[in-house]
Structure 1
Amino acid sequence: MMADLMIGNIEEGTSDDEIREFVTKYGFPAFDEIKHVPGTGSRPGVLLTFNDLDEAALRALQPRIQNMFWKGRTINVSIMREYGH
């Protein structure tokens, strides 16, 4: 069981600790891995991996932060599907 969450349009330079604090504040468990994804132009993002969550559990949490205004930007949140598993 594993699920990935992409948070896009975050403020450049946002630290891993700030991201961890943000998602746990809204009821997400702490993520197991984080990968910073450079954005095209000014829309960087992060890919968070949760080893102990499945897609359905992550999907239930997603609306808590979808389109939230955080650090001067409206973030977008997507669940990344694992194909072939």
Structure 2
Amino acid sequence: MRPSELMTQASGRVAARGIDFEAELARRARRAPATAIRAGRRRIDTIHQAASDRARRLPPVSEFGRRARTHSWVTRSGIGLG
């Protein structure tokens, strides 16, 4: 092989590696949003599960000492003064 051919052969390999690198970067860039969405959904599911578990361990409402209200003829609505 002639020395001049060595240079073109080596530069061809370097160019091929560069093209492969660019293609892989493009693939990863296209995949990144979907991967992030999946990770976010997994995180939300984990948080939701943890909150559900904590809520199940709470004592019943009757344990907090609230008594039923006695109703009189005078009541107030929750909005305004009426």
Q: Same fold, TM exceeding 0.5?
A: no
**Relative contact order: is structure 1 or structure 2 higher (C-alpha 8 Å, sep ≥ 6)?**
1
TM-score tier after normalising by the smaller chain length: under 0.3
- Larger Rg over CA atoms: 2
Q: Which has the higher strand share?
A: 1
Q: Which has the higher helix share?
A: 2
